[in-house]
Amino acid sequence: MSADDVIQAHMKALKEGTGKARALGQTLLNVPYGEGDGEKLDVYIPSTNSLEMPLVIYIHGGYWQFLSKEESGFMAVPLVSKGVVVVAVDYDIAPKGNMDLIVSQVRKSVVSVVQQYSHISGLYICGHSAGAHLAAMVLSTDWSQYSITPQIKGAFLVSGIYDLLPIMSTYVNEPLKMTEEVAVRNSPTTLVQQLKSSSSDCHIVVAVAQHDSPEFRKQSEEYYKMLKTSALNVTLEDVPDTDHFNVIERLVDEEYHLTKVHLLLKMMGKC
C-alpha cells in the first residue's frame, strides 16, 4: 500500500471503531471544554448505577495535522463494557493550531474533564503517535498555572514521539512551522524532571509496535529509559506482530494482545 492508502485505511478503521462505540450506549457529543471551535470532546458512558467509575482520556494522533475525535471513540469498545468512562478529545490541528496551542488545549481539556467528573474513581490518559506525545506533555504539566491539579493514576503512551527536534526538517513540520525553541519546550524528553514532580504516582506504560519505524522504536526506548532512570513507575511494552497503525486500531478486537492484557484495565483493577 502507498503511504496515502495506509493513512486512509487507518482513518477508516478508527472511524468504524468509533461507530461501534457510539452504538454501545450513552454518549455526550461535542461537549465544549473551551471557547474555541476545536475545543470539544466526546464522552462515552457505561450503563451502570455506580458513580465511582474510572475515566480514560484518549488523545488522537495524526502528526498534529489530521484525525479528530470523530475517529477517536474506538477506545471505548473494550472499556465501556467494563464500566469505564471514555473521553475523546479534539484540538486544533495544524495549520490552524501550532504546537504551543495544541499542547495548551489538551492540558485545558484534562482540567475541564476533572472539573466535570470530580466523582470518578481514577483518571487515566492514553494517546497514540502524536497523541502519545501530547499525553506525555500532559504528564509534564506545571499544574500550579491551572485551577486544579489532576491526579492521573495511569498513562498509556502508544508509539509516541517524545523528542520533536528530529521532525523539524521533515514534511511533518511544514504546517506546524516549529522553531527549535518551540520544539525543545514541547519535547517530553526535556521535561522529565517536571514529570517527576507532577506525576510521580502515575503508572506509565510506554508501548511500541514491533514493526514501528526505527525512529519510533528508538524514541520510545530512550524515553522509557529516561523515566526509569528518574525512578518513575514505568513499563515498556513491545507489542508483537503490530505496526504503527494497527497497534492502536486493534484495541477493538477482544483477542488482541493489548486488549487481552489490557494495561489500562489492569491499572484500574478491572481485569
pLDDT higher at 218 or 200: 218
pLDDT of residue 262: 52
Supply the CATH classification number for the domain 3-268. 3.40.50.1820
- Mean pLDDT in the chain? 90
pLDDT (tens digit per residue) in 149-160:
999 999 999 999
pLDDT (tens digit per residue) in 56-83:
999 999 999 999 999 999 988 888 888 8
Grid cell listed for 211: 514493526
pLDDT of residue 261: 46
Q: What is the pTM of this model?
A: 0.94
Provide the residue ranges of all domains of the chain, joining segments of one domain with +.
Answer: 3-268
Grid cell listed for 31: 461537549
pLDDT of residue 197: 86
In three-state form (DSSP H/G/I as H, E/B as E, the rest C), the secondary structure along 72-137 is CHHHHHHHHCCCCEEEEECCCCCCCCCHHHHHHHHHHHHHHHHHHCCCCCEEEEEEECHHHHHHHH
- What single DSSP character describes residue 173? H
pLDDT (tens digit per residue) in 155-196:
999 999 999 999 999 999 999 999 999 999 999 999 999 998
Residue type, 84: V
- What single DSSP character describes residue 6? H
What span, in angstroms and rounded, lies between the C-alpha atoms of 243 and 38? 29
Would you please indicate which residues are annotated as catalytic (active-site) residues?
Answer: 129, 212, 244
pLDDT (tens digit per residue) in 249-263:
877 666 655 554 455
Residue type, 190: T
Cβ partners under 8 Å of residue 74, min gap 6: 13, 14, 16, 17, 18, 20, 21, 249, 251, 252
